[in-house]
């Protein structure tokens, strides 16, 4: 069977890689990577010796790897191993492969023998590549790798290149990711391949330079990049009561490492957190229920990402810091404070009463830090927003479960608010508790109007001061990255 491309080229239909395809797959991979910059950098060293044993060890490793991929059904081919693509599934969707466990027990010995055969300079360069690539993976994707598909091999024999085999096979992996509602990522070792990956929907998320400070490498430094292809973002819908348990968990998980959350909660006198956590979750549940009743909260994936708003903004920030401004494209989370009106200061509302219940089970230092947050945020908001608070929309909670971050859910939900604001010819504002989120909000049209600094004069806080930003998007300001 064959299929025809748009330029009338005939491409054989891909099929899963079989055991009998492995010898040709190994040869095709070796031939395809013979001129690869990173392969040459690691192997072509001044002190390289007889490479026969090294090549045998390498082929054995590749053969075992392909055998594992065949068993798992995560490798595809065109022309019996002439062109190959393979991937690692998202961790949460991986079954228990007993054969794969056996292969994974053998591979460390193969790797160890390969290391033994390397020259000192080869080992040094291999370690440099490993360290630098690991670093940019952490920067670009972090813990989200477990929730994504990793495209770990794409190779086509030189004699078969230029026929569309590579893109056809890559789209199989992309389609698989779309079906599972997850992203795909890969490590590109050749800058010349960037245009190819862009044509498939990948974007460069991070880069590193290899060989730039190695005096034994006389050629130009290499550029290695992390490429990411995200999925189409599901359409946001109004939050429902049945979504609340997931929404509370998503918010809690998203803000575990949030700077303001850590400042307020991780105090010297915070021992048993159970009563505080139980009360906090109950408070969050009731708060979300109120948003559902008012119809001012939206979600993607039934609470995996949520974004409530207040139509009438607050006049003063109160003591409890609720999550607001969470995940961004690079996975960093943010936080700001929920608020109440001045009228509720003298006549306690159910929301303020819940906040009081939460504070009664909090340690003394937590209470002091809540008070610091209340006073400083209230003052800054008054100075920067002032009387305008009554006329503009307040984005007060945005949270996405960590495993769903980086998929564009956060920006899609923020655009629900900005579209509503534009429809009503209003500005919108928020408080971001993580300066790492600044670029994310600026890309959506928000500008910095004020700064809140916590912990700068607190002797019980030994880390750098926590900076929160008051940001405003004026009516009609289009975000820098319009929805695709």
Out of 51-65, 98-112, 254-268, 460-474, pick the least confident: 98-112
* Residue of 398 and 180 predicted with greater confidence: 398
Q: Give pLDDT tens digits for 427-460.
A: 999 999 888 888 889 989 999 999 999 999 888 8
Contact 413, 396 (CB under 8 A): no
Q: What is the pLDDT of residue 312?
A: 37
Q: Any long-range contacts for 362-366 (C-beta under 8 Å, 24+ apart)? A: 362/276, 363/267, 363/269, 363/270, 363/271, 364/269, 365/267, 365/268, 365/269, 365/270, 365/460, 366/264, 366/265, 366/267, 366/269, 366/270, 366/276
Task: Assess contact for 18 and 28: CB atoms under 8 A.
Answer: no
Number of C-alpha atoms within 13 angstroms, CB side, residue 211? 22
Q: What is the pLDDT of residue 484?
A: 35
Question: What domains can you pick out in the chain, each with its CATH number?
Answer: 2-229 (3.40.630.30), 237-473 (3.40.630.30)
C-alpha closest to that of 396 among 196, 251, 189: 251
| pLDDT at residue 320 greater than cutoff 60 | no
How many angstroms separate the CA atoms of 92 and 202, rounded? 23
Q: 3-class SS at 127? A: helix
The pLDDT of residue 28 is 96
**pLDDT, tens digit, for every residue of 346-396?**
223 333 333 444 444 457 778 888 899 999 999 999 999 988 888 889 998
102 Cα distance to chain centroid:
32
Q: What's this model's pTM, rounded to 2 decimal places?
A: 0.56
What angle do the packed helices 244-254 and 274-294 form, to 10 degrees?
A: 120
Q: What is the pLDDT of residue 432?
A: 92
Q: Look at residues 280, 296, 284 and name the one whose alpha carbon lies nearest to residue 239.
A: 296
**Does residue 146 carry a pLDDT above 90?**
no
* Of 375, 369, 335, nearest in space to 463 by CA: 369
Range of weakest confidence among 244-248, 285-289, 298-302, 314-318:
314-318
- Phi and psi of 304, rounded to 5°? -65, -30
For residue 467, give every residue at least 6 positions away whose Cβ sits within 8 Å of its Cβ, in sequence order, or none: 259, 435, 451, 452, 453, 454
Cα torsion 472, 477, 481, 483: sign: positive
Banded pLDDT at 474 (limits 50, 70, 90): very high
Question: With contact defined as beta carbons under 8 Å apart, do 227 and 188 qualify?
Answer: yes
Q: pLDDT tens for residues 72-102?
A: 899 999 999 999 999 998 874 444 444 445 5
CA distance 176 to 171: 8
How many residues comprise the chain?
484
Helix (H, G, I), strand (E, B) or coil at 304: coil
CB burial of residue 207 (10 Å; 0-12, 13-18, 19+): middle
CB atoms within 10 A of CB 30: 16
pLDDT score of 333: 30
Cβ neighbours of residue 50 under 8 Å, at least 6 residues apart?
none
Per-chain mean pLDDT for the chain: 78
pLDDT tops 90 at residue 17: yes
DSSP class of residue 4 equals E
Using 50, 70 and 90 to split pLDDT, how confident is the model at 302? confident
Query: How many C-beta neighbours within 10 Å does residue 428 have?
Result: 26
Residue 237's contacts (CB-CB under 8 Å, 6 or more residues apart) are 298, 299, 300
Per-residue confidence (pLDDT) for residue 275, from 0 to 100: 67
Measured CA to CA, the distance from residue 244 to residue 242 in angstroms comes to 6
Question: Is residue 18 pLDDT above 60, yes or no?
Answer: yes
- pLDDT for the residue 391: 86
Alpha-carbon distance of 470 to 447, in angstroms, equals 8
SS3 of residue 434 by DSSP: coil
């Amino acid at each position: 069977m064959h299929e025809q491309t748009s330029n009338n080229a005939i491409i054989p239909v891909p099929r899963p890689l079989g055991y009998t395809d492995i010898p040709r797959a190994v040869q095709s991979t070796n031939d395809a990577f013979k001129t690869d910059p990173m392969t040459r950098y690691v192997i072509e060293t001044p002190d390289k010796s007889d490479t026969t044993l090294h090549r045998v060890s390498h082929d054995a490793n590749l053969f075992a790897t392909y055998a594992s991929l065949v068993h798992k059904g995560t490798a595809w081919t065109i022309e019996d191993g002439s062109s190959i693509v393979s991937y690692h599934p998202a961790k949460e969707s991986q079954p228990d492969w007993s054969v794969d466990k056996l292969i994974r027990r053998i591979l460390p010995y193969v790797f160890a023998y390969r290391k033994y055969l390397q020259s000192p300079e080869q080992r040094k360069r291999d370690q440099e590549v490993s360290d630098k690539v690991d670093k940019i993976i952490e920067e670009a994707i972090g813990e989200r790798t477990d929730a994504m598909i990793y495209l770990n091999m794409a190779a086509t024999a030189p004699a078969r290149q230029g026929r569309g085999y590579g893109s056809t096979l890559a789209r199989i992996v992309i389609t698989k990711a779309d079906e599972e509602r997850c992203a795909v990522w890969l490590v590109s070792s050749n800058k010349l391949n960037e245009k190819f990956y862009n044509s498939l929907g990948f974007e460069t998320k991070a880069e590193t330079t290899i060989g730039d400070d190695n005096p034994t490498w006389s050629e130009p430094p290499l550029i290695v990049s992390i490429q990411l292809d995200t999925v189409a973002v599901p359409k946001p819908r109004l939050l429902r009561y049945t979504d609340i348990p997931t929404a509370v968990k998503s918010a809690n998980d998203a803000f575990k490492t949030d700077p303001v959350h850590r400042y307020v909660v991780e105090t010297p006198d915070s021992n048993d957190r159970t009563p505080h956590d139980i009360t906090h979750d109950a408070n969050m549940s009731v708060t979300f229920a109120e948003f559902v009743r008012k119809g001012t909260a939206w979600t993607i994936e039934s609470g995996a990402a949520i974004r409530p708003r207040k139509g009438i903004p607050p006049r003063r920030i109160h003591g409890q810091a609720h999550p607001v401004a969470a995940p961004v494209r690079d996975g960093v989370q943010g936080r700001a404070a929920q608020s109440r009106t001045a009228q509720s200061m003298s006549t306690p509302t159910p929301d303020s009463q819940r906040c009081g219940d939460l504070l009664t089970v909090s340690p003394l230092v937590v209470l002091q830090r809540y008070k610091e947050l209340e006073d400083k945020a209230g003052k800054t908001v008054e100075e920067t927003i002032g009387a305008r608070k009554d006329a503009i929309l307040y984005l007060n909670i945005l949270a996405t479960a960590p495993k769903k971050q980086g998929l564009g859910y956060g920006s899609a939900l923020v655009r629900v608010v900005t579209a509503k604001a534009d429809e009503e010819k209003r500005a919108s504002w928020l408080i971001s508790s993580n300066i790492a989120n600044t670029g994310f909000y600026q890309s959506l049209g928000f500008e910095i109007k004020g700064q809140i600094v916590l912990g700068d004069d607190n002797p019980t806080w030994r880390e750098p001061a926590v900076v929160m930003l008051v940001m405003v998007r004026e009516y009609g300001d289009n975000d820098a990255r319009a929805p695709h």
